[in-house]
């Protein structure tokens, strides 16, 4: 189920060798959608997975990998998910799926982004 899948992804993230992450990224991304069932939760999970790889690249002092991971994510979206996203009304469909964010949600999100940015800035500095 959902918990087992999340645990498997955590294990895969931990096992990613920074010398060959491309194969792992595309294997995990393809596995998320292998049953042919597409939904916004899985799209968000793809971004979450990519963000965890970015953080791992930062922590292992391989910052040049960050842009590459972003490129892989966009390639996967274009090749495998773009049609489905368009059928759902584009990115507006994501907002409809999760509902209109309240000001509290937006505030928490912005605080999280600022905290993450500050942490990354301190690690790089």
CB atoms within 10 A of CB 106: 10
From the list 58, 85, 79, 70, the residue with the least C-alpha distance to 25 is 70
- In the chain, alpha helices (H): 2-15, 21-32, 40-59, 64-76, 82-87, 91-98, 103-124
Which whole number is the average pLDDT over 52-79? 87
What's the CATH architecture for 2-99? Orthogonal Bundle (1.10)
Choice between 101 and 6, residue whose per-residue pLDDT is larger: 101
Q: Distance between CA 64 and CA 86 in Å, rounded?
A: 31
61: nearest Cα among 7, 111, 118, 123: 123
pLDDT on residue 83: 95
* All structural domains of the chain with their residue ranges: 2-99
In order, the DSSP letters of 33-45 are TTTS---HHHHHH
Q: Report the distance separating Cα 48 and Cα 42, nearest Å.
A: 9
Q: Which of 6-10, 13-17, 51-55, 121-125 has the lowest mean pLDDT?
A: 13-17
Q: Which residues contact 7 (CB under 8 A, 6 or more apart)?
A: none
Q: Calculate the average pLDDT of the chain.
A: 80
Query: Does residue 18 have a pLDDT over 60?
Result: no
Q: Is the pLDDT of residue 101 over 80?
A: no
What would the pLDDT profile of 37-61 be if each residue is shown by its tens digit?
999 989 988 988 888 888 888 888 8
Mean pLDDT confidence for 17-44: 85
* C-alpha span between 46 and 103 (Å, rounded): 26
Please determine, for residue 23, whether its predicted confidence score (pLDDT) is greater than 70. Answer: yes
Q: Quick one: average pLDDT of 71-91? A: 94
């Amino acid at each position: 189920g959902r918990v087992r899948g999340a645990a498997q992804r955590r294990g895969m993230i931990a096992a990613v060798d920074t010398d060959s992450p491309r194969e792992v990224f595309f294997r995990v991304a393809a596995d998320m959608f292998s049953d042919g069932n597409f939904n916004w939760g899985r799209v968000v999970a793809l971004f979450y997975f990519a963000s965890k790889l970015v953080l791992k690249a930062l922590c292992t002092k391989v910052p040049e990998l960050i842009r590459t991971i972003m490129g892989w994510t966009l390639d996967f979206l274009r090749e495998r998910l773009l049609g489905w996203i368009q059928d759902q009304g584009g990115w507006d469909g994501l907002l409809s799926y999760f509902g209109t964010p309240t000001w509290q949600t937006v505030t928490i999100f912005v605080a999280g982004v600022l905290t993450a940015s500050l942490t990354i800035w301190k690690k790089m500095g």
